[in-house]
Amino acid sequence: MGAALPAPAYPLRKVVLDNGLRVLLAPDQTAPVVAVAVHYDVGFRSEPEGRTGFAHLFEHLMFQGSENVGKAEHPKYVQAAGGIFNGSTHPDHTDYFELLPSGALERALFLEADRMRAPKITRENLDNQIAVVQEEIRVNVLNRPYGGFPWIALPPVAFDTFPNAHNGYGDFSELEAASLDDAADFFDTFYAPGNAILTIVGEFDPEQALDLVQRYFGTIPARPVPPRRSFAEPVRAEERREVLTDRLAPRPALAVGYRVPDPDSDLPGLLAAELLADVLTNGDASRLERRLVQKDRLVTAVSTYVGTFGDPFGQRDPLLLTLDARHAGDSTADAVLAAVDEELDRIAGDGLEPGELERVRAQAGAGILREADDALGRALKIATFELHHGRPELLNELPGLLAEITGDAVAAAAGALRGQGRAVLELRAGAA
């Protein structure tokens, strides 16, 4: 067993309202702020075929007013109180959140409850948000070098089923075909109180906060909750490789996807894979940074991460460990892949170097503490731990669990990557 890592001991309390809404309370009197987040158990893996991008489109629609709040007034009310707000769509959830002075807690709860009860789903709002999302795609994907690489482009190589492989940003024609009935059905199905988690973190009195929660959220009628779907796919035995051309990219790039263990059935295996990712690319002392960037100069930059957006606990199985590299000079994808294979084989066969495990465990533990240090970061973390894994207390437990991961476990994780059929996506720069 490794040396103990500093572990947080944040207070956590869970309450379930009669309508099924789960409420997480984490009081913290160290700063006069409060974070409020609402997570809905729906992401782009849940959207139906023929409606790619609908989960993200609906996130935008939720900011277009509600029963008692006019169009564009939600942001104004938050900002007038000195707060910030946003929302985001992920593979398996959509979240909405505010960070405000603690005296504005009631305002945030009213705003979130009002749109949970009745967002303004109108043809005008739907049409203008379709246009907004299409422009976002143009800016972030179509007209940007490496746009959507690799988070949009790699899944179709790594997976076979529609939920796992399709473009979560959406196809223009499918976005344009979205109807009011589609939007109403999506809301009725996925935005029920029983399909959501409300999280409050910061300076507040728990009993007073619960009174406010009951006042604003407790009166929202319960609705049926959709059964949680499985998106499981077999781990592929053979490598799959595809090539795409990016006319805006200045240099070629490479993305490689490997399947990693399900955190619910093999949490130690997932943590070992996460530490392996740090061994490979976290910092100047990491294996691939030394080999590919500093020594062989095959790439100008290389990174590895677990989960679509680098959060291994922010979605459910199946998960990828992704390697993302940008070529230098005339290096080839095969040369980079050969070097990666050599380093994985070296770890699997010889184990880790002296001090290597301690370094990456300390980095990972520090990352957990850093992400949870502020009220908003803590709210988002405990909500996803509860939503996807039913255990918000993982926030306090993860440093201790990381300390139990051995060098042999990290070596076994490297061997597991080499023993499967990886997904390889080559990006070629310039015109096709």
Distance CA 233, CA 157 (A): 13
Render pLDDT for 160-194 as a digit per residue (tens, 0 to 9): 999 999 999 999 999 999 999 999 999 999 999 99
| pLDDT tier for residue 4 given thresholds of 50, 70 and 90 | low
Last residue of a domain, one of 181, 216, 251: 216
Render pLDDT for 5-51 as a digit per residue (tens, 0 to 9): 777 889 999 999 999 999 999 999 999 999 999 999 999 999 999 99
Q: Is the pLDDT of residue 410 over 60?
A: yes
Q: Is the pLDDT of residue 222 over 80?
A: yes
Q: Find the mean pLDDT for residues 192-206.
A: 98
Render pLDDT for 264-296 as a digit per residue (tens, 0 to 9): 999 999 999 999 999 999 999 999 999 999 999
Q: Find the mean pLDDT for residues 249-269.
A: 96
Residue 229 lies in a domain: no
Other CB atoms within 10 A of residue 425 CB:
25
Q: Are 414 and 267 members of one domain? A: yes
Q: What are phi and psi of 322, to 5 degrees?
A: -110, 135
pLDDT at 110: 98
Residue 276 lies in a domain: yes
Render pLDDT for 67-105 as a digit per residue (tens, 0 to 9): 999 998 999 999 999 999 999 999 999 999 999 999 999
Q: Is the pLDDT of residue 204 over 90?
A: yes
Q: In what helix (H) or strand (E) does residue 321 lie, and over which residues does it extend?
A: strand 319-327
Average pLDDT, the chain: 95
Q: Are 303 and 202 members of one domain? A: no
Torsion of CA 251, 428, 346, 416, to 10 degrees: 130
Residue 231 lies in a domain: no
Residue 209 maps to which CATH number?
Answer: 3.30.830.10
Q: Find the mean pLDDT for residues 220-225.
A: 97
Q: Are 323 and 190 members of one domain? A: no
Distance CA 118, CA 105 (A): 20
Residue 232 lies in a domain: no
Residue 60 lies in a domain: yes
Q: Is the pLDDT of residue 432 over 60?
A: no
pLDDT at 8: 85
Distance CA 318, CA 265 (A): 12
Q: Are 174 and 260 members of one domain? A: no
Distance CA 134, CA 65 (A): 20
pLDDT at 255: 98
Sign of the alpha-carbon torsion through 308, 141, 115, 97 = positive
Q: Are 285 and 136 members of one domain? A: no
Q: What is the pTM of this model?
A: 0.96
Segment among 181-185, 291-295, 326-330, 353-357 with least mean pLDDT? 326-330
What is the extent of the structural domain holding 364?
Answer: 240-429
Q: Are 60 and 100 members of one domain? A: yes
Q: Are 255 and 161 members of one domain? A: no
Q: In what helix (H) or strand (E) does residue 206 lie, and over which residues does it extend?
A: helix 206-216
| pLDDT tier for residue 156 given thresholds of 50, 70 and 90 | very high
Q: Are 37 and 180 members of one domain? A: yes
Strand ranges of the sheet holding 13-16, from the earlier edge strand across to the other edge: 13-16, 22-27, 196-202, 33-40, 94-101, 84-89
Q: Find the mean pLDDT for residues 226-247.
A: 96
Q: Are 257 and 199 members of one domain? A: no
Distance CA 364, CA 402 (A): 8
Distance CA 285, CA 86 (A): 36
Distance CA 109, CA 217 (A): 8
Distance CA 304, CA 23 (A): 34
pLDDT at 7: 79
Q: Are 253 and 209 members of one domain? A: no
pLDDT at 172: 95
Q: Are 66 and 156 members of one domain? A: yes
pLDDT at 431: 59
Q: What are phi and psi of 317, to 5 degrees?
A: -60, 145
pLDDT at 263: 94
Residue 154 lies in a domain: yes
Q: Is the pLDDT of residue 3 over 90?
A: no
Residue 224 lies in a domain: no
Q: Are 396 and 272 members of one domain? A: yes
Residue 317 lies in a domain: yes
Using a pLDDT cut of 90, give the percent of the chain over it. Answer: 95
Render pLDDT for 380-404 as a digit per residue (tens, 0 to 9): 999 999 999 999 999 999 999 999 9
Tally of domains within the chain: 2
